[in-house]
Each structure stands twice: as structure tokens, then as C-alpha cells.
Structure 1
Amino acid sequence: MRSRLWEGTRIILHLPRASSLPLAAAVEASAPAIQVPGPKGERRILLVEDNDEVAELAGQMLEGLGFTVRRAESAPSALAQLENGHAADLVFSDVVMPGGMSGIELARELARRRPGLPVVLTSGFSDGQRDGDAEGLRLLRKPYRLDELEAALAAAFGAHLPSS
């Protein structure tokens, strides 16, 4: 570290090189695909998340689990995509979002418009957990691990698989 009057402070960090795989490669290498209807690569998830960084990470995790991911940045945008013919086998949505509609309100509207479409909500806030539980919605607490995401999706699909 070096400081000089009227110039500021200069800090140089020397970090070791990572010895593990990047997240996307680690997800693909370690995650078994969830058994859901349709051939691998044709399973579609509509990811509803307003935060770019969170959406990127969640998208990588979902793709690593074998899904094709399409993103909407708000609940109204997600509804518009579904109304305009963009198909989804499941909606994975944050609870707290801009646009005047929460993930819980989105789940209610999807239940009305598209009964049988599985919805999994995620939130880092305890109020979302309480509200989701009260309505019987599946809610995954942030931050979540890959195995927790996989279990939540498997449970959602399991509840919506057609009977044989």
C-alpha cells in the first residue's frame, strides 16, 4: 500500500489463481438433470428476476440443470411473454420486484390464467416466506444452493406431472 498527500492511496492485491471450475462449468459437471416432461433442452423455465446479477447466476444454475431459460424483468413482462406465445414449463420468480406486481401476485394471476403451470418463488426476505407459506406457494429462500434449487423444481414438477 502506498499513500501520498493530495494523490490518494494505492493498494495492490495479489490473489491466488482459482483452483476450482467457474460456476457455470461446476454446475454442469455436478448437477443431474431433473426428470420432467419433454426431451432435455426442451424444458423451459421463465425466470422472473429484476436484478441482473441474480438473474445471471440463477440462469446458469437452471441451464446446468438442463433447462432452457427465458428471462422477464418484472411480473407484467412475464405475463406479456406468456400471452405472446412464449411457452414455459415452469415459472421461477423473485417475490419482491418493481412494476407494481409481486411474485406472489404473479403466482395468483398465473393460477387464474394458466392453471397447472408450476410456479416456484424465491425471496431473501422473511415476509415473502410467511406470505408464500400462508398461500401454499413453494418458496425457496435466498441464498439457495444448487441442490436446494433442484429439489424445489423437482417438487414443483412432481406436483404437476400428468398421471400415467
Structure 2
Amino acid sequence: DEGTEVTLLLPAVSRAEAARYYPDGSRSENQLPLLPEGMRILVVDDDAAVGRLTAGMLEGAGHRPMTTTDPEVALQLLASGGHFDLVISDVIMPHGMSGIDLAREVRRHRDGLPVLLVTGYVGDSHSAVQEFPVLPKPFTALELTIAIRTLLQRRAPILQSTT
């Protein structure tokens, strides 16, 4: 009657869906799912180190991330005409504006801009699950890439590489 109880919640994925991500059946993190390269992604996380880590994963996948620790700065960047293909925001933020608030503002002012929320506190993201996709922290580069691909596929088909 001693020890640790571990509960794993894994997303259900059909074999057909998994085959789209890994056409040759491999499960190597070195073979990330296809995404359009060079996407400009705004990363908003109050923990600068976590923001840099996420940005590094995105750079490794061929994207151009910009990071900020402040959701108000993120809104200013978006309002000033900054071109971004995607916003990734932490849910829990200090000083009043949460990632959910930021996502709602993005939707209000730039409706076509996809938003992916990330959080280390899954219980706190319950209301966001209905409105915006949520990726639990910590995540790997593969999990981040799959979450982005899934989000973009909901909005429009991904262009497949011709090479």
C-alpha cells in the first residue's frame, strides 16, 4: 500500500491518422511531421526560459519564432501589423491577462490567426479546451509539431512537400 500511482492519458489516434504523420511507420522524433517551413510564430510565456526552449524547438523545425513574456506586448506586436502565422501562449500569466484572454483578443482582432495554448496546469485549462487547443507541458518537439499540424489541419489543409 505504498508507492506512486501514475495515470497516463493518451490521445486516441487511428492507424490511418498515425500513418499520415509517419508514412513509413517509424516513430523517430528525428522525422517530424510535415509542416510548412518558415512559419512566423509568436511565443508568449511568462517564463523566459520556457519561451526560449519552445522557440528553439520551433527553430529546429525550420520556423521563425519571436518570444515575449508579456501578453500585452504580444497584442502590440499583432496590432502594429506584425505578420505571424501562429500564436503559442502559456495559459497562466501574471498581471491580469491570461493566455486564454490573449487568445480571445487575437480571435477578436485577427480571427484567422490560429492560437495554440500550452500549460503545465491541465486543470486550469479546462475552459480553454472548449475554445482553443491546449498542449500540456512539458512537451517534446514532436508533440509540439503534431499539435501545430493538428491545429492547422482544422483550419485548412497542409500543403504537402513536393520533394
Percent of pairs with identical residues: 37
Contact 1:34–1:65 (CA under 8 A) maintained in structure 2: no
Q: Secondary structure at the match of 1:112?
A: helix
Quick check: 1:156 aligned with 2:151?
yes
Tell me the alpha carbon deviations over residues 3-47 of structure 1, each in whole angstroms, 9 at most, x when there is no partner. Answer: xxxxxxxxxxxxxxxxxxxxxxxxxx92536323xxx33x10000
Contact 1:117–1:160 (CA under 8 A) maintained in structure 2: no
Q: Per the alignment, do residues 162 and 105 of structure 1 end up closer, same or farther by CA in structure 2, a change over 3 Å counting?
A: same
2:67 to 68, 71, 74: 71
Q: Distance in 1 between matches of 2:124 and 2:134?
A: 8
Equivalent positions of 1:133-148 (< 5 A) are: 133=129, 135-148=130-143
Q: Per the alignment, do residues 33 and 69 of structure 1 end up closer, same or farther by CA in structure 2, a change over 3 Å counting?
A: farther
Equivalent positions of 1:77-116 (< 5 A) are: 77-116=73-112
Long gaps (5+) in structure 1: 1-28
Matching residue of 2:56:
60
One-letter amino acid of the structure 2 residue matched with residue 110 of structure 1: V
Q: Distance in 2 between matches of 1:63 and 1:154?
A: 16
Contact 2:51–2:68 (CA under 8 A) maintained in structure 1: no
Matching residue of 2:4:
none
Q: CA deviation at 1:99?
A: 3.2
Matching residue of 1:128:
124
Q: Secondary structure at the match of 1:159?
A: helix
One-letter amino acid of the structure 1 residue matched with residue 131 of structure 2: G
Tell me the alpha carbon deviations over residues 66-117 of structure 1, each in whole angstroms, 9 at most, x when there is no partner. Answer: 1100112121110001111211100000001123110001111111111111
One-letter amino acid of the structure 2 residue matched with residue 132 of structure 1: A
Contact 2:85–2:114 (CA under 8 A) maintained in structure 1: yes
State the structure with more CA Rg: 1
Quick check: 1:49 aligned with 2:45?
yes
Query: Over aligned residue pairs, what C-alpha RMSD do you find?
Result: 2.1
Q: CA deviation at 1:62?
A: 0.9
Q: Secondary structure at the match of 2:87?
A: strand
More strand by share: 1
Q: Per the alignment, do residues 32 and 97 of structure 1 end up closer, same or farther by CA in structure 2, a change over 3 Å counting?
A: same
Q: CA deviation at 1:126?
A: 2.5
